[in-house]
Structure 1
Amino acid sequence: MAFNQLRLYSDFSLYGKVHKVVSINPPNVWIKRVDGEDREMLFIDLVTHPTFIAGKSMKTRKKEVVVYDALAKLSETRRDEVSDRFEVIHPLILLDEIKSGNLRSVQKFIDKYGTLLYEGEDIEKLTQDEIISRNNKIREIQKRKKRNRSTILGWLKLYRDQENEVMNSGVEGLILSRGRGYTGRTDTKTMEICDPNRPDIVLDVISVRQDDAVIAIVKRIIENEYLTKYRVSKAVVHRSINDACIIQQLPCLSYSTVSEILNRVDEKAKELYRNRKNATAIYEDVARGYADRDALHPLDIIQIDHTRLDMQVIDDITGLTIDRPWITIGIDVYSRLPWCLYVSFEPPSINVVRKAIQHGVFFKHAKKRFGTESEWAAFGIPNVIYVDNGMDFKSGEIKRLVNETLKAEIMHRPVRTPRYGAIIERLFRTINDQLIHNILGTTKSKFADLGDINPEEEACLSLSQIRKILMVYLTDMYPIKDHRGLPLHSKTPLNRYNDGCVEAGYPEWIESSEEERYRLEFMLTLKKPYTREGVRLDNRIYKSDECSDIIGKKTQKYIIKYDLDDISKIYIYHPKKERFIELFCYSPAYEQVEGVNAYTFKQVRQKWIEEGEIKKKSIPGNDQYARASQRVQEEILTGLHKKKRLRKALARMSESSQQNIAEAFLTSQTQILNENKTKYSREEELFLAAALAEEEEGWGSDA
């Protein structure tokens, strides 16, 4: 994928004319046109200008963004194989970059593969053979398979050949077909080996030459008898398969055939299900180091972590207290400048990490979206993303997103050593002490500090307001305050960041025109069939007239990309048109779920199930959806004042659902006022009416 980096004397096109960078004075750059005219522009205004086109000298990668990711077609097991091959050749790739004069690659090599170096050794004097030998010794200690020299150099050649092709990436060149069975014969069929407990998870795909009925028997026996903790022998599996074949009057298989099939089942899958304890020791992902060093330039090292804010938040529509929100923040270690921010009621997860990294990589457009005086300065591709050992950060999806899509490195700090995350923890404390603890609704850091404060009664800010306040604070306030962790000659995060850009150039970034393609990369991925009814995903159906030519059986699956925050549409890769096609929700109708998140739909569907309005595996019609949605709103409205759990449920729903509930809430309050009208004096009646009008006006402005 192609990233850009602006350096001194970089060339680019603006207004159709060729320009060069003649001086970098962050946040500005001096540019000069070929006819001699020069001027100063804000860096962010320059690179986001609609006529801006990066020149060849700005490109930091040879390959371009690919709309179709061939890696997504692979099963999880084969995808892990590709990642392992890339891990083996990566130090060789970095070595080539170092010898070509790329200084950033030196630190990348030390961070990721410092264990391959002897004390005081010069990296540039290393040879490929030395790296291969030392890497194999480490893999042997980790009980991982060693690779011989010819195999590794073959993978390196495949990577480079694919890297130099247009619209392709080097990692895709590491997809091999050997070892999967009879892949070259016309009578070859595929057999998917799935998780015994979750059939939707494919562990391995191997090729066989048997009848479909025999394949079904072999698949069932392998999944339910062979891949178990009882670790039955091949002979037992052979007998079980032949017993089932005899019952169904099918030809029996020889022991050698069964043995060969079992040998081709992925070793990792066999270890995970037959010997879990041993598999953990062998296959548990181990980071080869951590960024226990000083950052050398802006976006060299980013620290990311989650925390809950020390305050209660009210609902955007009803004004009732919900709960404490979660925030995910990334900070640039070099300058202490914030890099990313994600605020929601969703606890830490893979989806949250994806959203936070996406926010850090793309342009923030803080002025336009949140009305800040300045733009959020830090954005682009970091060298190292430094995280703790939470499962959301150790996911294989996140590792591949960072290591292979962004060509960065994800590193985990040592277990039970919180001091290595001190920088991000200090930022959390600063936000709470200087901002959150001074706002009504704060819970303080300690219960003893609350005194007479009642956070739930005094809460006055909604999630959207908290998000805006944090954006303003992290853009216009925090970056220009003195920081004790920075040098005296550059005491504020913004000054430190700008000074670093003068020395090392601006960090790599993704052009605005390419962001939509990268958004697909950041989306969750799975494989689904496209049948006559369309694509079925979580009890919803998606269709498009553009995909009528790929309708097929359920065994034929296509790549699907989807976003949990908007279930109204998904994306399917069309193999004939070689691009992603947008599929809109057909049942329920697109208009009814536009902007609705997966959680809202789950609540509505649960109401269908409870009231018996749908049958198993059926999809309700549009009228049913509308009626069930209304019942969910009525139920939440009934217990809104009493049950905090219902307020949390409402907070995770989409704005359209919240608006309907708010209207019903205001109507109910008016009815209560009218019913109690005779119980109050004229003075009390006017007071209540004024209070209600003030609430209505406030809700209307928020909406």
Structure 2
Amino acid sequence: MRLCSLRIDDTFMWCGSKFIVHNIEPPNILIFKEDGERKISKVNYYSLINDDSFELISDSHKRIDKQISKAESNQRSLVDALPDKRRELAFKKLSWIKPILTWENAKSGDMYAAIAFSENYKKYLKDGETVQSINKKTLIERISENKDCGKSTRQLERYLADYLKSESQRENHGIEGLVSKAHMNTHVRIDDLPLELCHPKKKELVLDTIYVRLGEEYIPILKVAIENYYLGKRRKNVAKLHVNIEIMCINAKIESLDYDTVYKIVNRINPYVLEKLAHGDGNTDPKIVNSNANQSFAKAPLQVIEIDHVKLPITVIDENTGYDVGEPWLTLAVDVYTRKIWGMDLSLHDPSGHKVMNCIFNGICMKRTKEKYGTINDWDFHGIPTVFLMDNGSDFTSNYVKSMIEDVLHSEVRYRPIATPRYGGIIERYFRTINQEFLEDLLGFRYKRNDDNNDRKAAAEDAILTLNNLRELLVHYITDIYHHDVHKGLPLECNTPCARYYQAIEIMGYPPFIKEEDEPYYKIQLLPSTMKSYRNDGIREENVKYASPETARFISNKRKNNCKIKFDIEDISRIYLLDPESKSYIEVPSIYPPADEISGMSRKLFQIIRKLLIEKGEITKQQIPGSANIVKGKELLAAKYEAMVKTNMPIRRLALNAGLNLTVNLPSSRIDTPELPLSRRQQLLANLNNEKKKNG
């Protein structure tokens, strides 16, 4: 985690001089020169940390404490879902092997680990001994003899091996190796089979998924029996469920399951799901509801972030042709404690893991809205949250999104209870606020919430905003209006999102931030990954081949899936290959087709072009398009879309999503200036566009 933090008494370099933080007065900080007259100066915090000459200075002890607390925080987030006793046992095992892990890092030359071992585990060193002089076997024996442990050396060695194995499979998740896999809803073994439990009446609604180590023939039996005889308002007890399963096994001519096995399986079903089904919406066990609510209660900025999607009821047009391209999707992230907007993504793409990634990347990085959009205020809210609260949609529950949040950001993922919209009330209220206070004043807004065709046609006829126009206005609204407006859900003494945020900063200091030079690192880390084979002709990913002289050492014709890569579905001209030695990613360009021919091309557009070339007989299904094929494919696709785009709005949207620029002549009906009076925001937009035209 590459995070920086600036607090009282911290030292930093700025404009070639060393400064010390005297005090924090949001949105400013008070500083003075270390070797000067110590005259206190007030500077804007956001401007300071964005300055190229800014560099934070930290001593070794602060870095050690930060690393230790960060590691503990990461590990805790992995086992929050476990019952208290199992969680305590896992952390107890970790505490027994932690001295060994620290010792191994110290022996490898990590000075911070050596200092940490000397300070935290000096009880395992005798007089005259140092970290370098003690060996691993002796250390394990001394830990075993400690009264706080009481485990044999063989048990400690087994715990260490389990931890390292789990850590090698999934970085920062070594503690999973210390938890009994029977109690974890994580697919960690090839003999684990998923048991999907659906709603008894709504079979398309998945309530929970647990993994069992039984034969495949038992999965449909358990699924039917639990859904029909255990879930529901009058669910039966385990004994009766076991009898029903036994009868079904006999009919299927397979060996019956014993009572203990059935009991352990149903005992791992989410208790909230059972209570919800048993009592309905109004009679859920208050203890469980309160428990879930307390887990989402934020006590500081960036502690809990809510993320959700909404389709905005406003039609936008293509900036080249003026044709309407439909209604965009907004992915938004709101901080629960301050009600400030943390991140957003506005596009024509449907909800997906990629939209979630774009929203998260926007949230963790500095927005620089003054520079990009000329806002009055800075959008000065960024950083990495502790918890992400999301609903149960497939775009949020995917392995990609969970891995992105847990493995890259080291944050915790939590999901709202099923069919309980009140748990997402904060972000849902904000969506209503956007409609009522922002969108209603804009031309192209659709007033009716239903799918009334006449209402949609009327909105499309009035539409004058492009997607970029709408994004710019939305940023202005968030930064200069919403963040400074009174919010009923906040305390009276700090009843605006900014006031609430600045009050917390005065007590806690500014949250850690990501420096601009580290943003590309996080962009790569947030990309999806997969394992691929590196052959003599390169790495083949989605019918594109990648290779470079720098990565030729990874070629192997024997080992399958020997390389871990990351890819960007919005630009297929390059991938990123992980170097296991340096633990860094190497950029690998495409060689066929060449990178310069498909630079900036999305995977979606490439697949459409390839399919069209196959239909035209230009290439076979096994072939990869070359440079000439790509050019011809673009021409064929453009001609196809241009012929359809005049009368087909979904085709226009598909073309723009695929990355094509349409050039159809603007119809005369769209050239006419609307006769309706312009709102204040529309006048602002007109002024902005006029200024841009004047400036060229």
Equivalent of residue 306 in structure 2, options 282, 303, 311: 303
- Would you say the 8 A contact 2:15–2:54 is kept in 1? yes
Equivalent of residue 327 in structure 2, options 324, 332, 336: 324
Shift of 1:29: 0.6
Equivalent of residue 229 in structure 1, options 213, 216, 226: 216
* Amino acid corresponding to residue 27 of structure 1 in structure 2: P
- Tell me the secondary structure at the aligned position of residue 618 of structure 1: coil
* Unmatched 5+ stretches in structure 1: 66-85, 95-107, 117-132, 137-146, 181-200, 206-225, 233-270, 674-686
- Tell me the secondary structure at the aligned position of residue 461 of structure 1: coil
Question: Which residue number corresponds to residue 337 of structure 1?
Answer: 340
- Tell me the secondary structure at the aligned position of residue 590 of structure 2: strand
What per-residue deviation string (whole Å, max 9, x for no partner) do you get for residues 107-164 of structure 1? x89x947963xxxxxxxxxxxxxxxx4537xxxxxxxxxx678754455456656787
1:23 aligns with 2:23: yes
Question: Which residue number corresponds to residue 645 of structure 1?
Answer: 650
What per-residue deviation string (whole Å, max 9, x for no partner) do you get for residues 569-592 of structure 1? 111123466532211122222222
Distance of aligned partners of 1:622 and 1:59 in 2 relative to their CA distance in 1, 3 Å threshold: farther
- Would you say the 8 A contact 1:542–1:583 is kept in 2? yes
- Would you say the 8 A contact 1:335–1:494 is kept in 2? yes
Shift of 1:441: 1.2
* Amino acid corresponding to residue 377 of structure 1 in structure 2: D
Shift of 1:560: 0.7
Equivalent of residue 467 in structure 1, options 455, 471, 475: 471
Q: Report the Cα distance in structure 2 between the residues aligned to 1:63 and 1:546, rounded to whole angstroms.
A: 37
Equivalent of residue 538 in structure 2, options 526, 534, 539: 534
- Would you say the 8 A contact 2:325–2:652 is kept in 1? yes
Distance of aligned partners of 1:64 and 1:518 in 2 relative to their CA distance in 1, 3 Å threshold: farther
Equivalent of residue 549 in structure 2, options 542, 545, 566: 545
- Would you say the 8 A contact 1:91–1:113 is kept in 2? no
Q: Report the Cα distance in structure 2 between the residues aligned to 1:115 and 1:148, rounded to whole angstroms.
A: 11
* Amino acid corresponding to residue 503 of structure 1 in structure 2: I
- Would you say the 8 A contact 2:531–2:561 is kept in 1? no
1:600 aligns with 2:605: yes
Distance of aligned partners of 1:231 and 1:413 in 2 relative to their CA distance in 1, 3 Å threshold: closer
- Would you say the 8 A contact 2:602–2:658 is kept in 1? yes
Shift of 1:476: 1.4
- Tell me the secondary structure at the aligned position of residue 519 of structure 1: helix
Q: Report the Cα distance in structure 1 between the residues aligned to 2:264 and 2:621, rounded to whole angstroms.
A: 40
1:381 aligns with 2:368: no
Correspondence list, 1:43-62, <5 A: 43-56=45-58, 62=64
Q: Report the Cα distance in structure 1 between the residues aligned to 2:493 and 2:166, rounded to whole angstroms.
A: 59
Question: Which residue number corresponds to residue 358 of structure 2?
Answer: 355
What per-residue deviation string (whole Å, max 9, x for no partner) do you get for residues 322-351 of structure 1? 121111111112221110011112222222
- Would you say the 8 A contact 1:19–1:33 is kept in 2? yes
Distance of aligned partners of 1:308 and 1:150 in 2 relative to their CA distance in 1, 3 Å threshold: closer
Q: Report the Cα distance in structure 2 between the residues aligned to 1:609 and 1:452, rounded to whole angstroms.
A: 37
Which is bigger in relative contact order (C-alpha 8 A, separation at least 6)? 1
Equivalent of residue 42 in structure 2, options 40, 44, 47: 40
Question: Which residue number corresponds to residue 211 of structure 1?
Answer: none
Question: Which residue number corresponds to residue 561 of structure 1?
Answer: 566
Instruction: Please give the root-mean-square deviation of Cα atoms over the aligned residues, in Å.
Output: 4.4
- Tell me the secondary structure at the aligned position of residue 424 of structure 2: helix
- Tell me the secondary structure at the aligned position of residue 437 of structure 1: helix
Question: Which residue number corresponds to residue 680 of structure 1?
Answer: none
- Tell me the secondary structure at the aligned position of residue 596 of structure 1: coil
Shift of 1:167: 12
* Amino acid corresponding to residue 335 of structure 2 in structure 1: D
Q: Report the Cα distance in structure 1 between the residues aligned to 2:383 and 2:74, rounded to whole angstroms.
A: 25
Distance of aligned partners of 1:469 and 1:303 in 2 relative to their CA distance in 1, 3 Å threshold: same
- Identical residues among aligned pairs (%): 27
Q: Report the Cα distance in structure 1 between the residues aligned to 2:563 and 2:65, rounded to whole angstroms.
A: 25
Equivalent of residue 433 in structure 2, options 430, 434, 444: 430
Correspondence list, 1:280-679, <5 A: 289-291=292-294, 294-447=297-450, 454-553=458-557, 555=560, 557-575=562-580, 579-654=584-659, 657-658=660-661, 661-662=662-663, 665-666=664-665
- Would you say the 8 A contact 2:60–2:112 is kept in 1? no
Distance of aligned partners of 1:357 and 1:152 in 2 relative to their CA distance in 1, 3 Å threshold: same
Distance of aligned partners of 1:168 and 1:367 in 2 relative to their CA distance in 1, 3 Å threshold: farther
What per-residue deviation string (whole Å, max 9, x for no partner) do you get for residues 297-317 of structure 1? 222221111111011121232
- Tell me the secondary structure at the aligned position of residue 492 of structure 2: coil
* Amino acid corresponding to residue 58 of structure 2 in structure 1: K
Q: Report the Cα distance in structure 2 between the residues aligned to 1:441 and 1:475, rounded to whole angstroms.
A: 23
* Amino acid corresponding to residue 367 of structure 1 in structure 2: K
Q: Report the Cα distance in structure 2 between the residues aligned to 1:55 and 1:601, rounded to whole angstroms.
A: 47
Distance of aligned partners of 1:385 and 1:691 in 2 relative to their CA distance in 1, 3 Å threshold: closer
Shift of 1:369: 2.0
Distance of aligned partners of 1:462 and 1:689 in 2 relative to their CA distance in 1, 3 Å threshold: closer
Superposition TM-score, scaled by structure 1 size: 0.66
* Amino acid corresponding to residue 54 of structure 1 in structure 2: L
Q: Report the Cα distance in structure 2 between the residues aligned to 1:617 and 1:593, rounded to whole angstroms.
A: 19
Q: Report the Cα distance in structure 2 between the residues aligned to 1:488 and 1:13, rounded to whole angstroms.
A: 39
What per-residue deviation string (whole Å, max 9, x for no partner) do you get for residues 232-272 of structure 1? 9xxxxxxxxxxxxxxxxxxxxxxxxxxxxxxxxxxxxxx9x
Q: Report the Cα distance in structure 2 between the residues aligned to 1:179 and 1:499, rounded to whole angstroms.
A: 40
What per-residue deviation string (whole Å, max 9, x for no partner) do you get for residues 71-103 of structure 1? xxxxxxxxxxxxxxx99x968976xxxxxxxxx
Distance of aligned partners of 1:422 and 1:159 in 2 relative to their CA distance in 1, 3 Å threshold: farther
Shift of 1:609: 2.1
Q: Report the Cα distance in structure 2 between the residues aligned to 1:315 and 1:646, rounded to whole angstroms.
A: 12
Distance of aligned partners of 1:293 and 1:588 in 2 relative to their CA distance in 1, 3 Å threshold: closer
Shift of 1:402: 2.6
Question: Which residue number corresponds to residue 11 of structure 1?
Answer: 11
Question: Which residue number corresponds to residue 120 of structure 1?
Answer: none
Distance of aligned partners of 1:571 and 1:3 in 2 relative to their CA distance in 1, 3 Å threshold: same
Shift of 1:289: 4.1
Moved more, 549-558 or 160-169: 160-169
* Amino acid corresponding to residue 297 of structure 1 in structure 2: A
Correspondence list, 1:180-199, <5 A: none
- Would you say the 8 A contact 2:368–2:378 is kept in 1? yes
- Would you say the 8 A contact 2:329–2:349 is kept in 1? yes
